Amino acid sequence: MKSLSRLELPHFSGNPLEWPHFMSMFKCLIHDMPLTDTQRMTYLQRALIGDAKRAIDGMLNHGNLYRNALLELEEQFGNEETIAEAYLQTIFNHPQVTEDDFTQLQSLYNTLHIAVETLKGLGYKSDLEATDNVRRAMHKLPNSLKVRCGEKEDGN
């Protein structure tokens, strides 16, 4: 139990891209541990910033409201559809990779990988396979890779 006091939880600001990781870590490191709700609330209070903290600000001083606070956070920030859309937007908002820019290509790969794994985990695999979403993701590739993947250079 001594190591628990040295753990640093990630902060959560209300950004839907942060929610899955934050909640997974919080549940594993705090929620599922043999702690009182007052202790859990203290850790939760330290981990929240910005909009997330404001969402439950009135509850943070009352350990008996810990479970209500978690439910409120889940309701406001844990909407899977919102999270899935936010991850799709990371792909759509990624700059198009120029020829021979391996740094940009690695960045796109990382963006795609995180988005794909998160959407699969949320059960949004059909969104990944939607024709328009695939087309928009393919548009981010350099022309030489589009041709290799079966797309024409003119984008059709």
Mean pLDDT, rounded, of the chain: 88
Reduce the DSSP state of residue 154 to 3 states and report it: coil
User: Domain locations in the chain?
Assistant: 2-77, 80-148
Please tell me the pTM assigned to this model: 0.78
pLDDT digits (tens, 9 = 90+) for 1-48: 455 456 678 999 999 999 999 999 999 999 999 999 999 999 999 999
Confidence at 147, pLDDT banded by 50, 70, 90: low
**CB-neighbour burial class of residue 113 (10 A; exposed 0-12, middle 13-18, buried 19+):** exposed
Task: Indicate whether 53 pLDDT > 80.
Answer: yes
Helices (H) and strands (E) in the chain, counts: 9, 0
Question: What is the DSSP secondary-structure string of 58-125?
Answer: GGTT-GGGHHHHHHHHHHHH--HHHHHHHHHHHHHTSPPPPTT-HHHHHHHHHHHHHHHHHHHHHT-H
